[in-house]
Amino acid sequence: MCNLRALVVAALLLHSVVALVSAQRSSQWKTLSGDAPKVVARGGFSGLFPGFSSAAFNLALITSVPDVILWCDVQLTKDGAGICFPDLLLNNNSNINEVLPQKEKTYLVNGVSTKGWFTVDYTWDGLVNVSVIQGIYSRTNKFDGNLYPILLVEDVATQVKPPGLWLNIQHDIFFSQHNLSMRNYVLSVSRQVVVNYISSPEVAFLNSIKSRVSPSVTKLVFRFLGQDETEPSTNQTYGSLLKNLTFIKTFASGILIPKTYIWPVTNDNYLVPHTSVVLDAHKEGLTVFGSDFVNDVPLPYNYSYDPVSEYLQFVDNGDFSVDGVLSDFPITPSEAIECFAHLASNASGQAKPLVISKYGASGDFPSCTDLAYTKAIADGVDVLDCPVQISKDGIPFCASSINLIDSTTVAQSSFSNLTTVVPEIKAGSGIYTFSLAWKDIEGLTTTISNPSSKYTLFRNPRFKTGGKYLTLSDFLALAKKSSSLSGVLIGIEYAAYLAEEQRLSVTEAVMNTLSKAGFDNKTALNVKIQSTNSSVLMKFKEKTSYELVYKIEENIGDTLSSTIEDIKKFADSVVINKASIFPESEAFITGVTDVVSKLQAAKLPVYVELFSNEFVTQAWDFFSDPTVEINLFVSGANVDGVITDFPKTAARYKKNPCLRQKEIPSYMSPIPPASLVQVITPSYLPPAEAPNPVLTESDVIEPPFPSVTAVAPAPTGGSTVGVSPRPSGQPKIAACFFLSYLAMAIAALFLF
């Protein structure tokens, strides 16, 4: 067992160690200085912990580049103390309405009447019982019970000891109207601690301090708000101020602009070509910082929900790089800048994991269409998948579902009269592939899948329909043409039903098609046959020598060694779900199973599904960053393959040079599983879930495969597999799973 205290002590050594692993690259950057762009963490790691809390600031230091800059919005209290807090109002990001009597006031803020609990109405001592909470309601509130206190600016500097400190003065005029001098406060605090950047959206404020700060220590940055908003000290809009950067240069050395100033976005959330603002500002000698970078909103569709892609668009686009980014999730710009920028397109990657597509690049185009497959190959997938369905006239083809309603507009077509009820497949009705001839299926309109639509996250709407289905034979021809694929994966389901009830032999059709395509001998492309039904794999084992992949659909918590012996009889590798490795409760990882090591000990490679980019599909432990998720499964759990509907993200992950560094930097170290639940106070803990069941022999053994000519027996019963519950308690948390810096450091969060 690991000793937590030892981990904590080790964590105290963290900062000195981290400094050694900073990667050095310079000449490639098109920043003003030629140095790598800076990572600025808004309120620390505010994407996870309540922003501006000690936990958020410390997590930012632990997970980011060694020279990360911590951003504080400065507000003044009635007695002139400077606090790090995101807003003039204390309402949304603190529990003030629970701990202090009603003291709502209405004041004019830049001429706008505003109601709430204002910092100017409280003394610093009066706020002693107020704590910061998660102010953004789509983020987890599970850490609100930790009662993190509000911090003074001086405390952030002296206790958190950030490598860089950035103070943002959003309001100066308001405080002077309340007889509080932000100028005096800022000048006094910057004499006590090192302040690296001071930003403000008020021209007069920056003008008032510019002669009083040393430009070599403290850089002044003018913050632009919305183009149509009025700058209160000049009465000009920010849009018009942007036209005279020479003027800005008279009081600032840099600008902070919303990211859409640089890469504007259409109403339907697609990028248009970049503006010239970064190049113009660089010409003027101004540095440019981009703001509003968060992982947990619908990004422009061009990024396929991958936040690393977004950062790369700003720092590595060939034309320019911004000089820094302001982010709520600082791990992501850290890995983007240090691990993924300037990757050559021919960069070699590590062998693991095998990147296996899920219906092609179905995150970008309708599943299993020519568009989705072509994109997957272009994105660098290793294994292209074809879930085989069969038409009424016996043509095998690739489609995500046997029910055409799931992936086409067939229900709105003239074939809607082919709706049938097949209880062996699904309760309710469907329009099944075996009811239509291939020529009719071929003419259907395919539709993109939207698995996260209940969170109103949709995929590539401009391509929500379109793309053609391929016959298995055309699919194999496409795969053969590609020089980058290492194999194909052919999925077979409902074979017994199709043989018995529809007189259609999918297995024969697949074998014949593979053979005709020249795949019956050892070819350059490895062929994997995947099924959830062992009898299908048995049948292939008798007649072929393809790799047989057994898919375990249900979440399992463990597996008996006798079951593994049985699996070995018909399979060469196994597909399991993410939750069979890291079980979750309310999207927090609660432990780790040893399913992977047991299967691998029996020489069964383990492929895992499903890796999607939409942040709602990832546990909180992954910081809304799909690369962080893949990294835990690959570097942490040592899985052999990842199955993904966004193969670009996984393929790029394999190429990142940080994985080859002797000391893996913290932002590319696996997050210790179940470390976050340990930081949650009891009343906020997610419920303890019953452990997932153990996989037993009866789950994997099936009756032999029926032949197509056999007289159809009575319909087989329900297809769900009964699994026996695990006899003993929760899955164990392997506390010594791995000892990364991160593991030690997250343990250290207990200290604060």
> Smallest distance, Å, CB 119 to ligand NAG?
11
> Smallest distance, Å, CB 539 to ligand NAG?
8
Nearer to ligand NAG, 237 or 638 (CB): 237
What whole-number distance in Å separates Cα of residue 11 and Cα of residue 197?
Answer: 28
What whole-number distance in Å separates Cα of residue 72 and Cα of residue 88?
Answer: 13
What whole-number distance in Å separates Cα of residue 249 and Cα of residue 220?
Answer: 10
Nearer to ligand NAG, 116 or 691 (CB): 116
> Smallest distance, Å, CB 654 to ligand NAG?
14
Nearer to ligand NAG, 318 or 704 (CB): 704
* Peptide bond connecting 605 to the previous residue in cis, omega within 30 degrees of 0: no
Q: Give the DSSP H/E element, type plus range, for residue 219.
A: strand 219-223
Under 8 Å between Cβ of 332 and 307: yes
Coil, helix or strand at residue 57: helix
Rounded to 5 degrees, what are φ and ψ at 192? -85, -40
Pairing of strands 383-390, 487-492: parallel
> Smallest distance, Å, CB 431 to ligand NAG?
11
Nearer to ligand NAG, 687 or 717 (CB): 717
Largest pairwise CA distance in the chain: 94
> Smallest distance, Å, CB 576 to ligand NAG?
16
Nearer to ligand NAG, 462 or 503 (CB): 462
Residues that bind ligand NAG (CB under 6 A): 87, 89, 91-92, 126, 128-129, 178-179, 234-235, 244, 246-247, 250, 270-271, 273, 302, 344, 346, 348, 414, 417-418, 462, 496, 518, 520-521, 533, 535, 702-706, 716, 719, 721
> Smallest distance, Å, CB 703 to ligand NAG?
4
> Smallest distance, Å, CB 189 to ligand NAG?
22
State both tokens at 323. 């000089």
Nearer to ligand NAG, 158 or 348 (CB): 348
> Smallest distance, Å, CB 520 to ligand NAG?
6
CB atoms within 10 A of CB 290: 29
Nearer to ligand NAG, 704 or 727 (CB): 704
Nearer to ligand NAG, 68 or 376 (CB): 376
β-partners of residue 447 are 465
Which residue in 541, 540, 576 sits closest to 558, CA to CA?
576
Q: How far out from the chain centre does Cα 386 lie?
A: 26
Nearer to ligand NAG, 425 or 747 (CB): 425
Give residue for tokens 């074979």: 495
Under 8 Å between Cβ of 388 and 510: yes
State both tokens at 738. 């791995």
> Smallest distance, Å, CB 287 to ligand NAG?
19
Pairing of strands 38-42, 324-327: parallel
Nearer to ligand NAG, 136 or 671 (CB): 136
Rounded to 5 degrees, what are φ and ψ at 471? -65, 160
Which residue in 207, 279, 212 sits closest to 248, CA to CA?
207
> Smallest distance, Å, CB 344 to ligand NAG?
5
In our burial notation (b when 16+ CB lie closer than 10 A, e otherwise), range 417-434 reads: ebeeebeebeeeebbbbb
